[in-house]
Amino acid sequence: MRQAKIMQEGANVLQQVDVSDIFTSLALGIAEAQERLDDNSIKQILRLTDKQVAGKSLIELGFVPAFYHFDYADISASIQLKMAVKTSMDLGIKARVEFARSRGYDESFLELLNESRQEKKRTEFKSSRTFLINSNSSERIDYQNRTIQMDQSSGSIEKVEMMKDEMRNSEKIDRVEVDVIDREEMRSSSESSEVVVTKRDGYGMIYIPNRKAKTALLKVHQYPDGEQVHQIGEQINYKIKTSFQATLEGLKALAANGGLGTDAKVVGCKRSVANDTVGGFSVFFGHDKDRVNENFSDNDVNNDGVFDQINALADILLKDSSINVEIVGYTDSTGKEAYNQGLGKRRAERVKDHLVARGVPPARVRTKSMGEIPAREKNGDGQHDENYRRVDVLLPHTADFFHIQGSNVNKGGVVEPEFSSESKYGIISVMSKIPATDKNVSFEYGNRSFEADAKSAEDFLQKETSIQGFDETFSSEVHNEVVYLLSHSAKLQFTSYSNESEDISIQSSRSEVGTESGTENTLLVDETVNSRSRLRNDAGASEEESTFAVGASVDFRMSRQFEMEVTGNSSMSARLSSVPPPDAFTEHIRKTLNGEA
């Protein structure tokens, strides 16, 4: 049945061949020959006129041009049409799963590589290439003439970021991005309402709060004309002054002088001006980085106190359901526009991760990317500027917030009534100190369950080795009171971009092809996307050698091509006769030469 379908496709091609075109071409050859003979006769006249003997032209002396015409012409042709069906293997979107399986890959592993391609980003660079690897792989990879390897002794995020840095520092590599692909669900089954378990962008996140002091949230809608003195607790006075900055400085001075007790801290979250991106706070990033680093510093920008800002914002969102926030990502103007648009979005999403990890509903945090557009408009294209490698966290323009923390904070002594929509300012809530006692951490990942008691995120890491099956399932790391888990079954999809090289070299450093110790291959390399691959549209392209990794072509497509061959022979015979010129023509020439015409 399959062969019949192929024959039908071939017949359709043959039907499109117009044999009459061949005969027409032969006949036109006769007509063209006649036209050339007529032109030759006219040239003879000109030459006979120009040539003179004793002052007279050759025509005057009796020479006449010769004219020719075909008496008849016979055309015969023998034509044969041959159709050849050629099947070859070519790189493409759909894969021959059977071929991949035979070399240690399963269907899901292979399909992951194809389904999330960012074609726009991949084609705006001179070349790009993607590879997929298991998150627990220690396989050595030959990458751009050097060997790289994931450090499995590092934490869940650190080992991925270190791998990116290794790749980014390689020859002729401009940018590197990674996607964590893990489709297993992760959900809480904990008895503690304070513990938050969630999953975002491939990482599991467990938040185990360990608040050492009580916290009050002061919301200011309108500042007074002069100072307003209010009380937190029984003897602590705080002052709302005439502006955000003056009030913040006054509260910080109160904390510094011990007025708030131990573990005192004040964080201000300024409202954003309507229709403008000011206020809120900013988080800065290194070049081509998207992970929040509280120790980051570059010239005049830094992330000092950034996690205090994020923690305060999370408390505000959890206690004031009337507000949402927007996080806007930016990049400098180096690199390519589509890539930078994605980078700005990833930066905004990473800040959102920290809020969602603390229990903030994702729907209340909107993210978007401005990419490189603002930086390009200010600095021009291709300019480094650390001020634009950031995200802005924007609060609604209705109110400012002050996150007041200290052991002496006590809601029972608050004089100002709780804030309402009619109030100019007031306390919206006071959160109690969370005792440093064990909290039940219980969650499910896929069809497996894990449980432990821990006082904090750091304490959980100390106990994780005693959790049955944990080390065999996850690598882990703590950031800002959140345990980040990366499953060993997750796939890491790295994509490299280059503006200098047409080919990005990636392959396994193993000499043996196929599986090791009965396990599946851990490295799968996609095709290189470059100017040649983007322009391949001729039938002969499939004859090029496919890209191989660990002995297996990454992405095979069966490509059927029809080749048609026209063979045969043709013959043409014609009789040519010479005739005298027309009498009228000869008479006209004579009169012209004698001046009678």
Instruction: Look up the CATH number of domain 214-431.
Output: 3.30.1330.60
- The Cα 246–Cα 267 span in angstroms is 13
Mapping DSSP to helix (H, G, I), strand (E, B) and coil, where does residue 56 land? strand
Predicted confidence (pLDDT) per residue in 433-484, tens digit: 888 889 999 999 999 999 999 999 999 999 998 999 999 999 999 999 999 9
Mapping DSSP to helix (H, G, I), strand (E, B) and coil, where does residue 278 land? coil
Residue 233: alpha-carbon gap to chain centroid: 52
Residue 280 has pLDDT above 60, yes or no: yes
Mapping DSSP to helix (H, G, I), strand (E, B) and coil, where does residue 43 land? helix
Which two tokens mark 205? 């996140």
- The Cα 89–Cα 91 span in angstroms is 7
Residues 535-555 have a mean pLDDT of 37
DSSP single-letter state for residue 36: H
Say if CB 489 and CB 498 are below 8 A apart. Answer: no
Percent of the chain with pLDDT over 70: 71
pLDDT band (50, 70, 90) for residue 117:
low
Instruction: Look at strands 127-134 and 491-498 and give their pairing.
Output: antiparallel
Ranges 329-343, 410-424, 498-512, 528-542, most confident: 329-343
- The Cα 25–Cα 491 span in angstroms is 62
pLDDT band (50, 70, 90) for residue 527:
confident
- The Cα 167–Cα 159 span in angstroms is 12
Residue 195 has pLDDT above 90, yes or no: yes
Which two tokens mark 361? 């509903």
Q: Which secondary structure element, helix H or strand E, spans residue 140, and what is its range? A: none
- The Cα 281–Cα 306 span in angstroms is 9
For residue 24, what pLDDT is reported?
62
Percent of the chain with pLDDT over 90: 45
Mapping DSSP to helix (H, G, I), strand (E, B) and coil, where does residue 7 land? helix
Q: Which of 467, 407, 465, 395 is nearest to 433 (CA)?
A: 407
Say if CB 555 and CB 113 are below 8 A apart. Answer: yes
**What order of strands is seen across the sheet that includes strand 214-220?**
265-269, 400-406, 214-220, 425-431
For residue 26, what pLDDT is reported?
58
pLDDT band (50, 70, 90) for residue 273:
confident
- The Cα 370–Cα 328 span in angstroms is 7
For residue 115, what pLDDT is reported?
59
Compare 425 and 67 and report the one with higher pLDDT. 425
Q: Which amino acid, one-letter code, is at 278? A: V
302-332 burial, b at 16+ Cβ within 10 Å, e below that, comes to: ebeebebbbbbbbbbbbebeebebbbbbbbb
Predicted confidence (pLDDT) per residue in 232-271, tens digit: 766 778 889 999 999 999 999 999 998 888 889 999 999 9
DSSP sequence for 364-393: GEEEEEEETHHHHHHH-TT---GGGSEEEE
For residue 193, what pLDDT is reported?
75
Say if CB 279 and CB 397 are below 8 A apart. Answer: yes
Reported as half-sphere exposure (CB side, CA atoms, 13 A), residue 366 has a value of 8
Residue 87 has pLDDT above 50, yes or no: no
- The Cα 128–Cα 531 span in angstroms is 10
Residue 288 has pLDDT above 90, yes or no: yes
- The Cα 288–Cα 297 span in angstroms is 15
pTM more than 0.85? no
- The Cα 526–Cα 132 span in angstroms is 8
For residue 161, what pLDDT is reported?
96
Q: Which of 269, 265, 261 is nearest to 233 (CA)?
A: 261
Residue 174 has pLDDT above 80, yes or no: yes
CA distances from 125 to 122, 370, 382, 501, 549 (A): 6, 20, 14, 10, 22
For residue 90, what pLDDT is reported?
37
For the chain, counts of helices (H) and of strands (E): 13, 33
Mean pLDDT of the chain: 79
Which two tokens mark 315? 């408390």
pLDDT band (50, 70, 90) for residue 539:
very low
For residue 119, what pLDDT is reported?
61
Compare 118 and 148 and report the one with higher pLDDT. 148
Say if CB 249 and CB 231 are below 8 A apart. Answer: no
Residue 312: alpha-carbon gap to chain centroid: 32
Which two tokens mark 7? 């024959």
DSSP single-letter state for residue 262: T
Q: Which of 113, 107, 109 is nearest to 91 (CA)?
A: 113
For residue 113, what pLDDT is reported?
59
Largest CA distance in the chain: 140
Say if CB 456 and CB 212 are below 8 A apart. Answer: no
Ranges 276-285, 490-499, 551-560, 565-574, most confident: 490-499
Domain boundaries, the chain: 2-85+569-593, 93-178+490-554, 186-209+435-487, 214-431
